[in-house]
Chains A and B, each alone.
Chain A
């Protein structure tokens, strides 16, 4: 166990560096091939060169290596002295960015000179609530459907789950979001808002077409469910397969033969073992859910991180997009690490010694 944890932690470092490099190289390539992104902010007007240079410098696009196509910006020629270890080169833009992120916790600024970390700090409570609602919804409904389908393979429930999962998979989340917003939030919500006996929390809060600051939790329920629907189908299918495998396992037969009640056989012996892959999936899914939150928050107008990314992307504020996504990717990497460690704790068969 201990050795596994250490090995996994050591593997974590190159993965983080590699992912950071991937992000860095993708953005550098984009700048190298399409020119200074700051120009996009001015539209078709020609900016004052001094102003352009100042903003470019401040947003971190002034590095000369961003003019050389294909240059990964790893090293630059040392301005003075013999450079790093006497090679005549010193660490380049990539290492500058890494240093900013890990030593100064600096993810860049937006055009109004606000730190990206500030923007994220304002937005994060909404996204967190949304994610929790989504994961809970996904876990409860997905596991329940999967268990029902898995225990009675070939039954009506099984086919119902199978068919509905295919449909949920094939509807892109933004289509689902828009349709739910219009049908449930506006149309059905309007009917509810016409009735006097329904409390406002339900009619105005829950069934709302967009986020309402007056009902910060209630108005996140439907967006959260839409977000959870994204992986609901996978959760259900995974539970179903794993229940079907485990129900035939020897230890389940032994438990039955001992005369344990059905409830105990299913609840303790089957379910607990079947849920290991499901829990891993839910953990890994946090990454996908964060990406999905970009879409859901945009549709339901939730002032979270996702909408921050979309709004910045639409207005061309690439520094904000890069900063926020870098931060999200770090969170996803950490979540994956924790899931792997949890996996080793949960399943005694996995030791990787």
Chain B
């Protein structure tokens, strides 16, 4: 039993890459051969992953501590400097209302990141648990959960979000998070369900069952750690698509509303000035695309690193 448990904890010990070294694999063999340790080693050698995660770190620090990046107040506006071109003191220039555009861009990182992180944690927890239950128990539990997932799947994401946000009228970070969560959890549940089904008949699960492990222990200790890899890959990619989704909803006018700072608002307010003052559009678009791209590249790199077949 102890042997099985330690395998489980070594595999599940560091669910997030870069969580510090896995605390001493028992026995201290010459090589720490857990999947996550190998993956971490490979990821740190991958320049694409390193650059993408540095970019995300930068954007994340903008969201957490905007004061680190700028001392300007994005709401200190004066219309006599409307659309002044970028200069050394104001690297992004001024927007249509004469507010400092650089600080707007820095403060604009927060809503996107907060929404993406909250919604992703929500779908990972909720979708993960439902997928685990459906995959592990099978039978009528699976039938019910899968049918419910089908129903959520058949509602196109953007359309569902527009309906909900139009009717509720309170378009803030919480309602946007709620609607992203509501419409996106089935995907992750389906992924987890698939990998649980494929790993629940493996020998070590049978062995653990034979020595009398309870259902909950089997699920969380033995099956879940091995279903974690695809979920982590998908969660990384979904962070990027949530950032994009928030900006899209804001652009359509059903997301965040001015005077909140957000990249989507920056883009939608200044799209008509593109020809005269292209920087008004290029800076927020660049930040947004960079963030989405970084998340997707990180997800791709994670997928390669976590798949033993690529070794």
Contacts and interface: CB of A to CB of B under 8 A. Distances in A.
B162 A313 contact: yes
A295 B252 contact: yes
User: Which label, helix, strand, loop or mixed, suits the secondary structure of the B interface?
Assistant: helix
Given A22-B152, A23-B155, A322 B167 contact: yes
B265 interface: no
A298 B252 CA distance: 8
A170 B293 contact: yes
The 3 closest A-B pairs by CB, nearest first: A18-B151, A30-B168, A291-B158
B253 A310 contact: yes
A290 B293 CA distance: 24
A23 B155 CA distance: 8
A321 B162 contact: yes
Residue among A21, A31, A174, A179 with max Cβ neighbours from chain B (10 Å): A174
B45 interface: no
A14 interface: yes
B166 A178 contact: no
A329 B152 CA distance: 11
A314 B148 CA distance: 31
Interface in A31-47: 31, 33-34, 37, 40
Contacts of B275: 182, 186-187
Nearest to A309: B162
Contacts of B148: 18
A340 B164 CA distance: 29
A74 interface: no
A19 interface: yes
B155 A22 contact: yes
Interface in A308-353: 309-310, 312-314, 316, 318, 321-322, 325, 328-329, 332-333, 336
A34 B168 contact: yes
Interface in A159-177: 166-167, 169-175
Interface stretch (B35-43, B224-232, B284-292): B284-292
A14 B170 CA distance: 32
Contacts of B150: 15, 18
Contacts, number: 147
Interface residues of A, number: 53
B126 interface: no
Given A22-B151, A314-B253, A34 B159 contact: no
Interface stretch (B77-85, B197-205, B243-251): B243-251
B130 interface: no
A67 to B, nearest CB: 15
B154 A15 contact: yes
B180 interface: no
B111 interface: no
Interface string B249-277: 00111100000000000010001001100
Contacts of B289: 170-172, 175
A150 interface: no
B162 to A, nearest CB: 6
A166 B158 contact: no
B296 A166 contact: yes
Interface in B285-307: 285, 288-289, 292-293, 296-297, 300
A328 B159 contact: yes
B55 interface: no
A294 B157 CA distance: 12
Contacts of B156: 287-288, 290-291, 328-329, 332
A300 B267 CA distance: 15
Contacts of A19: 151, 154-155
A69 to B, nearest CB: 13
